[in-house]
Amino acid sequence: RKEVEQDPGPFNVPEGATVAFNCTYSNSASQSFFWYRQDCRKEPKLLMSVYSSGNEDGRFTAQLNRASQYISLLIRDSKLSDSATYLCVVNWGLNYGGSQGNLIFGKGTKLSVKP
Amino acid sequence: DAMVIQNPRYQVTQFGKPVTLSCSQTLNHNVMYWYQQKSSQAPKLLFHYYDKDFNNEADTPDNFQSRRPNTSFCFLDIRSPGLGDAAMYLCATSKPTGYSNQPQHFGDGTRLSIL
């Protein structure tokens, strides 16, 4: 069964706080990992890819733990504009001539940053 | 500049009346996807095209069909919409690589309502 699990939240944090989200996936063969952000009634937008060694983009840090099959996202110095739903996304194997196959989305973790 | 364009943004149709949603892309990506997303749920993949190869998800109802006349365009046809088909429909594109993180790029979505 294809599963990507996230805590739905909501996480209610004050501006400036540090907040962390975790995500677990069930397919040990998955090779591509992403965090997407989705605002209410909008399309998902790529926040960052997640690489094996971990990666950082400004206030955002993503980590991958293949052994435990989980991914994390850390947001430092939260801004009001960070309020959104954060979707953990994992590919589900290879398909058709090297295509990375389908992406499976978690249901998302809702973040609300308050003044 | 919008790279994945969905039309219309909002579509209202009657119960049982066929409806077509359209998606175009300027990214020249080989892979195009259609997702259905209902409120507070993860996007659910309906099908995708790798070039002209059509890949249907096992649990996608027969009521949903797709056409890809060329690289740039992809259509979602709902033959007899039911009330349960009211949702946001998202089109996405990606490059086909098997071993590197290739994210999907989403259009703004079409919000479908059924009367």
List chain A residues with CB under 8 Å of B55: 95-96
pLDDT of A101:
58
Query: What local confidence, expressed as pLDDT, does residue A94 receive?
Result: 54
Beta strands in A1-115 (DSSP E): 4-6, 11-14, 19-25, 33-38, 44-49, 55-57, 60-65, 70-75, 84-91, 103-105, 109-114
Size of interface A-B (CB pairs under 8 A): 70
- Cβ–Cβ gap A102/B48 under 8 Å: yes
Tens-binned pLDDT, residue by residue, of chain B (115 aa): 669 999 999 999 999 999 999 999 999 999 899 999 998 899 999 989 989 989 888 889 999 999 999 999 999 999 999 999 999 999 999 887 555 677 889 999 999 999 9
| CA atoms of A34 and A28, how far apart (whole Å) | 15
Query: Which amino acid makes up residue B102?
Result: Q
A1 vs B: CB within 8 A: no
Q: What is the pLDDT of residue B56?
A: 87
Q: Do A99 and B45 touch (CB under 8 A)?
A: no
Residue B9 CB neighbours (<10 A): 10
Three-point CA angle A51, A30, B44, nearest 5°: 105
